[in-house]
A and B are shown apart, each in its own frame.
Chain A
Amino acid sequence: MIDTETNKKLTEIFADDILDRLNCNSNELYLTVEPAKILSICKYINSEMGYPLVSMFANDEISLCENYAIYYVFADREKGQFLIIKTLIDPLKMAFKSITGKVHAAARYEREIKDLFGLNPIGHPNPKRLVFHGNWPDEAFPLRKSFDLHHKPDFAKKSINFGKVISAGVYEIPVGPVHAGIIEPGHFRFSVAGEPIINLEAQLYFVHKGIEKMCEGESIEKCLYVSERISGDESFTNSYAYCQAIEKIAKIKIPARAGFTRVVFAELERLTNHLGDLGGLCTDVAYGFAAYQFRMMKGWAYAIADELCGMRFLRGVNKLGGVRKDFIAGKELIIIKALEKIKKELMDTNEIIKSNGLFIDRVEHTGILSKKIATDLNAVGPAGRGSGILYDVRKAFPNEAYRQLEFKIPEHHNGDVNCRINVKIEECYEAIEIILKALEIMPRGKVLEQIDAVAPYQFAFGITESPRGENIHWVMTGENNTIFRYKIRTPSFCNWPALCHAVKGNIVPDFPLINKSFNLSYAGNDL
């Protein structure tokens, strides 16, 4: 399955440059290449083969092969496969060739690698710091194995430079990191001429917690709890992706009932989040009535979660090898009843907001994200689908359960706030239908397959569609059931730069609305 025509062609063209080839976990192809050839091969994969760069990360493999490794992860979204280009970096050089000029989505990954590993991307157009702010010293690279987790480096005194727009009448608006509402911290620097926004730079990573470093050396069970806490409202999908990766490494197949239980919870989380987003959008345009309708429905969705597992944020549901217990049995009727109530209310509310001309005027043509930019930056989830990128992990990388369920991916092309609202509303309906269908066809049986021990130095991807989009976790195990490296790439990481592009040319008072239509997670980005 992994040897597709395109992959064959790639290995033929670059036959001399590919040093090693590893085919594992049924849909992952690892090709090790010379560092010097990385630019040409990545450019070929991205532009000729059309695979987007979905993740990119480094790994300190000095204990394994005396080198740092950089993984460039490309996804074949038609066949549901990963093509990973791996290159080894000599610790004496500590530099690699930047591919940002050709593969634009690499920009933030390369800056992240530079901050966390001290590997220098040569030729990067904007090599400024990403993860750390001015107060972090130059010579501290936390994801190197030689860096102690509990080491506290001294404060450095440097300020953050923002991109400046210099012209008559242009001024800067600094917003945050403390905001007027109760939201996560992030600093936004607007360059504006009157009200229209010329440029926006987002300074994030105020809640950088060092999750990836923290997981290294910890047991795989313990990291499950960490994965649930990556981002508050995506706790289920994050742990879902983590479990998938570990289960792939352990080479076990989870019971069918567990698979469907996970689908039910994942869709419930999507429904809850989308309803919350829609409520937030209505609040931002001061549409009190609709905002409270959506909040009420979100409350009902939370009540379902509470009823099923006693936890509205769905923590403690996933377990390596399945789910903790059979949460669904005997509660089917409660779920069906509650979902039908939500569906009816959602239909009514949808009809009312769609017939409100003033509301449509606010959201239409606001915050347009063009398909070109969305593709270049690999915008995922509702943000990508609103701009005409017809991609959903549940269809492209389906697991056993999703393969048996039928659903549609909403398709919208204008890329404005209205499209993202429509995507979310349609996905709410789809989520309800998926849950109802899953409850119907769910087989009886056990829900947990025991995982005893995992082999050391094995790696695999876990990929799920979180409410915000494609969510990719890469896990490499260490000895004694521990984690050697855990790379988390949440959808927020991809969508933040897309947001900065979408606001350009809009007016300042429309920013909260555009921001809310993306509704990105700060915690999920800052890690």
Chain B
Amino acid sequence: MVEAVYLIVQISVIILIAPLVNGIIKKIKALTQKRTGGPLLQMYYDLFKMLKKTAVVSDVSSWIFKVTPFIVFSTAVAAALIVPVTTLIKPRWFPGDLIMLVSIFALGRFFMMLAALDAGSTFGGMGASREAMISSLIEPSIIVSLITVGLIAKSTSVFEIMNFMQEIHNPLIHPVYIMSFCALVIIIIAETSRIPVDDPGTHLELTMVHEAMVLEYSGRNLALMELGAAIKQLVFITLLVNIFIPHDQLINITGFAGIGISLLVYLLKIVVVSIVIAIAEVSTVKLRLFSIPNLAALSFILSFIGFLQYFVFGG
């Protein structure tokens, strides 16, 4: 019973809210630029439209190109199951840990890069090579920053970490957590293809990273790829807000009412983070591609300092 509720809540909340995050970011960006912008739900309309269309597949591509949208989408959904939106529903089985989360994302990304190369277009190859560069630079700091938090919580389970964090009411005043938090913010920017690492709005084929990899996709396949990317973005944001800004300890009501309140607070946090991302995106500039290693290094150093501080200050 609990497991069923957990599955339904996780999947439905994450899939339903994921496109909204993009909508909020776009809307806020438009408003800061004195534009009206598209509707808040535009991405849902786009997804429905694309799902109704057949996909055009290049006849020189192989099976990799065809299965990749499903792999990207299913890995994103699998990742969504590991990161709970609310800790009030506690399944009896172990939903997965940090290392599994990172590996699942790596699997999706690996196939995405292969598919980008598979279609044989120039831009796919460039996008794949850039993505490989960025992700190989970013991945170490994901592991280090999350493992640091895991060390303190004495568990690699995301669930356990979140529960642990709720006991220390304000994790962000502790130096270890601040470092890990900052590192994770940079990771999220890089992983979700946001400015200053990548520009989600660009259509300049020579500068794209994520957009270049999905360039050959159309129709249903594109819808799955886009939704997969949106889910991945939301999973990362969830990871950030539910670990470092926990809220479930404040809710004393049990049962479905408590879960409902918890989800509303969660939604509020997501909206706030989306607005922050939008404002940060508007006021910054995309980095030169070869400056991205500096940003990744910064992220790694932050997470590593956090890691060292754990041994100095303890949990």
Q: Which A residues form the contact surface with B (CB < 8 A)?
A: 173-175, 179-181, 194-195, 284-289, 291-292, 296, 356, 358-359, 361-362, 366, 507-512
Contacts and interface: CB of A to CB of B under 8 A. Distances in A.
B289 A362 contact: no
B83 to A, nearest CB: 28
**Mostly helix, strand, loop or mixed at chain B's interface?**
loop
Contact of B122 (A174, A181, A509): A174
B281 A509 contact: no
A288 B286 contact: no
Contacts of B34: 292, 296
Contact of B286 (A174, A296, A362, A511): A362
Contact of A361 (B126, B201, B283, B288): B288
B92 interface: no
A288 B282 contact: yes
Contacts of A292: 33-35
A286 to B, nearest CB: 4
Contacts of A508: 126, 206
B21 to A, nearest CB: 18
A181 B203 contact: yes
19 contacts: A173-B126, A174-B122, A180-B215, A181-B203, A194-B129, A284-B207, A286-B285, A288-B33, A358-B287, A362-B285, A362-B287, A362-B288, A507-B288, A507-B290, A508-B206, A509-B206, A509-B288, A510-B288, A512-B207
A287 B289 CA distance: 15
Contacts of B4: none
A335 to B, nearest CB: 23
Contacts of B202: 286
Contacts of B286: 285-287, 362
Nearest to B199: A286
Interface in B150-181: none
B36 interface: no
B284 A358 contact: yes
B213 interface: no
Interface in B127-147: 129
A175 B204 CA distance: 11
A102 B283 CA distance: 49
B61 interface: no
Contacts of A358: 196, 284-285, 287
A180 to B, nearest CB: 4
A289 B35 contact: no
A509 B211 CA distance: 13
A284 B286 CA distance: 9
Contacts of B196: 286, 358
A178 B54 CA distance: 23
Contacts, number: 76
Interface string B285-297: 1111111000000
A289 B282 contact: yes
Contact of B29 (A174, A288, A296): A288
Given A179-B205, A288-B201, 11 more contacts: A173-B122, A175-B205, A180-B204, A288-B29, A288-B32, A291-B33, A292-B35, A356-B285, A361-B288, A362-B288, A510-B289
Contacts of B277: none
A292 B29 CA distance: 11
A493 B281 CA distance: 37
A195 B33 CA distance: 32
Contacts of B29: 288
Interface in B42-97: none
A269 B142 CA distance: 51
A507 B289 contact: yes
A508 B290 CA distance: 11
Which has the most chain A C-beta neighbours within 10 Å: B129, B282, B288, B289? B288
B253 to A, nearest CB: 42
B205 A288 contact: no
The 8 A-B pairs at the shortest CB distance, nearest first, are namely A292-B33, A286-B286, A286-B199, A509-B207, A358-B285, A180-B203, A180-B205, A512-B204
Contacts of A291: 33
A289 B35 CA distance: 11
B33 A286 contact: no
Contacts of B122: 173-175
B289 A286 contact: no
B117 interface: no
B263 interface: no
Contacts of B281: 286, 288
B14 interface: no
Contacts of A173: 122, 126
A512 B206 contact: yes
Nearest to A288: B282
A180 B282 CA distance: 23
Contact of B206 (A175, A194, A296, A359): A175
Nearest to B289: A509
Contacts of A512: 204, 206-207
B183 interface: no
B195 interface: yes
A280 to B, nearest CB: 10
B204 A195 contact: no
Given A173-B126, A358-B287, A362-B285, A289 B33 contact: yes
A286 B201 contact: yes
Nearest to A353: B285
Contacts of B129: 194
B283 A195 contact: no
Contacts of B207: 284, 509, 512
A366 B287 CA distance: 13
B289 A181 contact: no
A195 B125 CA distance: 12
A195 B290 CA distance: 9
A289 B32 contact: yes
A467 to B, nearest CB: 22
Contact of A287 (B35, B204, B285): B285
